[in-house]
Amino acid sequence: MQDTNTVQRIAIDPITRIEGHLRIEAQIQNGKVRDAWSAGMMFRGLELIMAGRDPRDAWVFTQRICGV
Amino acid sequence: MTEETRPSTIEERLEQRGITRREFLKFAAFMTATLALPSTFTEQVAHALATAVRPRVVWLEFQDCTADSESFLRASNPNVASLLLETLSLDYHETLMVPAGAMADKSLMDTVNGYPGQYIAIVEGAIPTANGGIHCTINGQTALSRADLVCRNALATIAVGNCAWDGGIAAAAPNPTAAKGVKDAVPGLGTLINMPGCPHNVVNLAALITHYLTFQQWPERDGQGRPVFAYHETVHEECPRKDHFEEGRFVLAWGDAGHRQGWCLCKMGCKGPDTRHNCSTVKWNDGTCWPVQAGHGCVGCAQGNFWDQATPFYVSTNCHDD
């Protein structure tokens, strides 16, 4: 058993059973989460892709942000 | 239930789930028809489905929106959904699996290392190549490195949806992450089958796998790796509104008299003439409807680079009646 006072850092990636590429990192001390960080690990740049296009097409593009 | 105690054949497992022999045969006939095989093949297809040992599948998600997974899961026809899930041993799928983090990775690597050349890799989503591939990572590994490892060790790779085919929406101009499809990101794969569409249609995926289980080979593909049974005819050729096109009856404004009477949508920007797919026969929502039937033109989602080639969606570029 490790000294529980030691700050441990764990990363869970991928977080499953959700849509998207989620990563959670957590700092654990005395068996409790002391701090945590979440991050989306995927980027497409849809805002950049939509710039300058026919506004009537916007719904087709934004629909593809998430298909769930 | 452990792998050992599960009934070994699909037919037995379907029985456990209350799917009758009659429904099973109906599904076999449906798959035979989708594959454009003569109906005399139904018995052979049924026999293959009933006795096949489940192929192992790993499903990789990269720059995706999960719509191809949704298409796979939302097969509302219980036969299609049950048969697919019962036909395949889905060893890895981030949206569906219970293990997370390192345990998820273990599931993937158990299959990749334990069954090299024996599992099917299904890829959903584009693969970013800019900046060393950092725009999509899983467990600290780039999508590019994971695709390379998993697809190169697979029996076959199936790229579902446009993103996995040619980069799809992520690769639309200006393609900020240098996104690519499997064919360009992992070139030289022995067997790569492309199932474009945004999303792909689960009926075609089911038919593709049914073909493999029946004949131990993949169906005929065109020069772009697309199964001919699903990507030969244009949407326009098979369109139920085609008579209106030939008679010169066009919708000219949304809600006009022609629109209410189901006339041709090509002057409203329909991309059916440029797009090869079997939407009008396979349809969506358990075969009930598809966009043109609902009164909207085809956006061309099964053609290459459609986010740039087929846009603006509401501008007609191919209506050569005049």
**How many angstroms away from the CA of A67 is the closest CA of chain B?**
4
Q: Which of B64, B91, B308 should be substituted to probe chain A, the one whose Cβ sees the most A Cβ atoms within 10 Å?
A: B64
The model's pLDDT over B57-87, given as tens digits with 9 standing for 90+, comes to 999 999 999 999 998 887 666 666 666 777 7
Mean per-residue pLDDT over chain B, rounded: 92
Residues B73, B79, B83: CA angle, nearest 5 degrees: 70
Give the pLDDT confidence score for residue B36 in this predicted structure.
Answer: 92
Q: Which residues from chain B sit within 8 angstroms of residue A43, using beta carbons? A: 128, 135-136, 176-177
Average pLDDT (B206-211) is 93
Report H helices in chain B: 10-16, 21-34, 42-51, 67-73, 78-87, 101-114, 143-152, 161-166, 182-185, 202-215, 228-231, 242-246, 257-260, 279-282, 306-309
The model's pLDDT over B84-102, given as tens digits with 9 standing for 90+, comes to 777 788 999 999 999 999 9
Question: Contact B65/A46, CB-based, under 8 Å?
Answer: no
Average pLDDT (B203-219) is 94
Number of CB pairs, chain A paired with chain B, less than 8 A apart: 114
Sign of CA dihedral B95, B219, B194, B283: negative
pLDDT at B120 over 50: yes
Give the pLDDT confidence score for residue B2 in this predicted structure.
Answer: 47
pTM exceeding the 0.90 threshold for the entire prediction: yes
d(CA B277, CA B20) in angstroms, rounded, equals 31
Question: Contact A14/B104, CB-based, under 8 Å?
Answer: yes
Contact (CB, 8 A) for B302 and B162: yes
Q: Which of B311, B314, B316 should be substituted to probe chain A, the one whose Cβ sees the most A Cβ atoms within 10 Å?
A: B311
Q: List Cβ neighbours of B10 (8 Å cut-off, separation of 6 or more).
A: B49, B50, B51, B52, B54, B83, B86, B87
* From B66, B99, B179, residue closest to A19, measured CB to CB: B66
Ramachandran area for residue A52 (φ above 0: left; ψ -120 to 50: alpha; else beta): left
**How many angstroms away from the CA of A65 is the closest CA of chain B?**
6
Give the pLDDT confidence score for residue B238 in this predicted structure.
Answer: 94
Give the pLDDT confidence score for residue B78 in this predicted structure.
Answer: 60
Give the pLDDT confidence score for residue A4 in this predicted structure.
Answer: 63
Q: Give the ipTM of the model, two decimals please.
A: 0.93
Question: Contact A45/B169, CB-based, under 8 Å?
Answer: no
